[in-house]
Amino acid sequence: ENILYATTTFGQNEPDGRGSPSGADMSMYIKQQHQFVKSLSSNVRDQLVIRPYPNHCHGQKQREQFESLMLKLKFDDNKYLVDSLLKSRLVVLDNIQTIFFEVIAYGVPVMVFHDESMWEFNREFSSICEEMKKLNMLHTSPESIAKFLSGIVDNIEGWFNTSEVQQLVERLRSK
């Protein structure tokens, strides 16, 4: 079993204001993806498998950008996302979009990091995000999630199966 980092990417020429990184924010978003990988301890990085965005054009470029970090990274080439999710001890995401809710539905441990200035949520979900932060399910920087993950890598299930995290997971499933 591994730790799956499932990434997202968007074109740098897409319009701003979609509620997700686009236009000028894209280079910062990619930089944060790389900072996450570079911030991981070698023990965690050895267990990490990166799943680039599946779009051929963006995904290939994204893989090449990760490879340029010269960190001997592993990549997930599985055609079916669900197979990769179900084989993972933990899924790390850099955003809260559809895949986040899919991982929650499958019951796979999940953590997210994202820059709050790039992602906008309605008031109700923003309050859930605050709860996620308190339980270390959501981090606002790549360094924060890397540090937390290094501390629990040998007991991810212990963290994820606490009653507080499981109560939140059940609330998210009911949404």
Question: pLDDT (tens digit, 9 = 90+) per residue, 6-50?
Answer: 987 655 444 455 555 656 677 788 889 999 999 999 999 999 999
Return the percentage of the chain with pLDDT > 70, whole number.
86
Strands (E), 52-109: 74-75, 88-93
For residue 141, the 8-state DSSP code is: S
What pLDDT is attached to residue 24? Answer: 67
Q: What is the average pLDDT value for the chain, to the nearest integer?
A: 86
pLDDT at 15: 46
Between 65 and 40, the higher pLDDT residue: 40
**Cβ neighbours for 101, distance < 8 A, ≥ 6 positions apart:** 172, 175
Nearest CA among 71, 86, 77, 35 for reference residue 52: 77
Could you tell me the pTM of the whole model?
0.88
pLDDT category of residue 67 using cuts at 50, 70 and 90: confident
Q: Give the pLDDT of residue 57.
A: 52
User: What would the pLDDT profile of 68-109 be if each residue is shown by its tens digit?
Assistant: 888 889 999 888 999 999 999 999 999 888 899 999 999 999
* pLDDT above 80: residue 110: yes
CB within 8 Å of 44: residues ≥ 6 apart: 3, 146, 149, 150, 153
CA dist., res. 37 & res. 6, Å (int)? 12
Average pLDDT over residues 153-163: 97
Please tell me which residue, 56 or 73, carries the higher pLDDT value.
73
